[in-house]
């Protein structure tokens, strides 16, 4: 009887949310398995971002993050920027789902970066080198990497989504795009100026699932499903981003978090869930950690080399022209001087 009441409540929830447009992304993606869900306002963020000045209820910002009426810009399209948006309250329920509406865009045509990260970690509000947040984190990191740093052969193109589960024992290797600590991942054309992008993260029955809608079609596309992922309760949601030599706008439009239905036997052991050490049974297929060939250049290095080469050639050409003109002038003066000396000599004779 209790189960029937929960199902009725779930469908009432779904009807209200769809009818009044509270969550158009959940209602549009009908093929995504629909579990019992319960919206969590304290872990969500929607327009208008009510607050005073740069403050947002239930959320903290840091770094170069700015708040506007239409979006929260984690980083502007400028070099060497970093920022973050962090939920003030830990998630206390075992299974959850988060939908993030965002946009990554900028002036760069072929070269842009670096990307953004979505976090479920123990220590929020820490700036660092991993897409704007701290390395050696405790929990889950989902990385939306828009630029390939690795010089060697890659098994995928960018932009690329990858997940990493960490218990503060591993560092994220930015030079190799985290490929050696990756749980799972997929290619996704995240960068666009035409429409917003949607990402769904679901943690249910110790399985991590990620879905995307990158083309504005209103249909979810599976990125990956990774079973055997064990995450504790009591961690914090957050979004960070960073730029380096390359840059992009990294904008958050909305974050919607839901508590998913959880079996009674799991709910009765919440204290044990809080003590879980983050780890995952499955992982990406291991690859040898091969040292990069430093004779190879990344895209940005090639660009700089070509620019410097062109400038050098222009300088050499200009220097040559100046030298040639100077030589011609000197020869002309010498000829005139010889003529004058010869003329005066004739006059004397």
In tens, the pLDDT along 88-102 reads 999 999 999 999 999
End-to-end CA distance of the chain: 135
Least confident span in 63-72, 151-160, 207-216, 272-281: 151-160
* pLDDT recorded at residue 208: 97
* pLDDT recorded at residue 20: 41
Listed ranges 58-72, 186-200, 260-274, 324-338; the one with the highest mean pLDDT: 58-72
8 A C-beta contact, residue 75 and residue 241? yes
* pLDDT recorded at residue 298: 46
* pLDDT recorded at residue 129: 92
* pLDDT recorded at residue 262: 87
* pLDDT recorded at residue 341: 63
Provide the token pair at 263.
């079996």
Using the predicted structure, report yes or no on whether residue 348 has a pLDDT greater than 70. Answer: no
Using the predicted structure, report yes or no on whether residue 45 has a pLDDT greater than 90. Answer: yes
8 A C-beta contact, residue 61 and residue 82? no
Region 144-155 average pLDDT: 68
Cα 144–chain centre separation: 4
Average pLDDT, the chain: 81
* pLDDT recorded at residue 260: 94
* pLDDT recorded at residue 9: 47
Region 104-118 average pLDDT: 87
The contacts of residue 91 (CB under 8 Å, 6+ apart) are 43, 120, 233, 234, 235, 236, 237, 257
C-alpha to C-alpha distances, 286 to 20, 100, 105, 172, nearest whole angstrom: 47, 30, 33, 15
Region 21-27 average pLDDT: 50
* pLDDT recorded at residue 152: 53
How many residues are recorded in the chain? Answer: 349
More confident residue, 145 or 303: 145
* pLDDT recorded at residue 292: 38
Query: How confident is residue 3, by pLDDT bands cut at 50, 70 and 90?
Result: very low
What is the number of other CB atoms lying within 10 angstroms of the CB of residue 337? 10
pTM confidence score:
0.74
Provide the token pair at 188.
């996704």
Query: How confident is residue 103, by pLDDT bands cut at 50, 70 and 90?
Result: very high
Using the predicted structure, report yes or no on whether residue 33 has a pLDDT greater than 60. Answer: no
| C-alpha closest to that of 266 among 328, 203, 221, 214 | 203
Using the predicted structure, report yes or no on whether residue 11 has a pLDDT greater than 50. Answer: no
Region 38-60 average pLDDT: 88
Region 36-63 average pLDDT: 88
Region 340-348 average pLDDT: 61
Mode of pairing for the β-strands spanning 229-230 and 236-242: unpaired
């Amino acid at each position: 009887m209790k189960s029937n009441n929960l199902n009725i409540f779930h469908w009432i929830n779904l009807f209200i949310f769809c009818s009044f447009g509270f969550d158009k992304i959940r209602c549009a993606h009908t093929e995504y398995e629909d579990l019992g869900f319960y919206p969590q306002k304290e872990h969500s963020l929607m327009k208008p971002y009510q607050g005073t000045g740069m403050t947002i209820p239930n959320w903290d910002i840091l770094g170069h993050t700015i708040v506007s009426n239409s979006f929260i810009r984690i980083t502007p399209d400028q070099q060497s920027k970093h920022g973050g948006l962090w939920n003030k309250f830990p998630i206390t329920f075992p299974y959850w789902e988060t939908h993030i509406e965002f946009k990554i865009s900028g002036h760069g045509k072929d070269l842009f970066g670096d990307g953004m990260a979505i976090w479920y970690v123990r220590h929020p509000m820490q700036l660092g080198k991993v897409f704007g947040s701290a390395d050696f984190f405790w929990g889950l990191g989902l990385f939306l990497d828009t630029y390939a740093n690795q010089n060697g052969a890659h098994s995928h193109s960018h932009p690329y989504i990858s997940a990493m589960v960490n218990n503060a024992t591993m560092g994220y290797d930015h030079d190799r795009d985290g490929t050696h600590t990756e749980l799972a991942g997929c290619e996704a054309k995240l960068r666009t100026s035409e429409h917003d992008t949607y990402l769904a993260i679901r943690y249910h029955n110790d399985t991590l699932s990620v879905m995307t809608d990158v083309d504005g079609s209103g249909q979810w596309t599976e990125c990956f499903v990774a079973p055997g992922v064990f995450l504790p309760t009591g961690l914090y949601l957050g979004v960070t981003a960073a730029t380096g030599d390359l840059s992009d706008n990294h904008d958050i439009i909305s974050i919607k978090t839901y508590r998913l239905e959880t079996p009674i036997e799991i709910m009765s052991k919440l204290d044990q869930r809080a003590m879980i050490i983050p780890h995952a049974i499955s992982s990406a297929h291991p690859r040898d950690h091969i040292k990069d060939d430093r004779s190879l250049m990344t895209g940005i290095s090639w660009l700089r080399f070509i620019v410097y080469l062109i400038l050098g050639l222009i300088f050499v050409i200009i220097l040559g022209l100046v030298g040639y003109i100077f030589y011609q002038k000197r020869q002309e003066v010498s000829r005139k001087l010889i003529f004058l000396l010869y003329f005066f000599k004739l006059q004397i004779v």
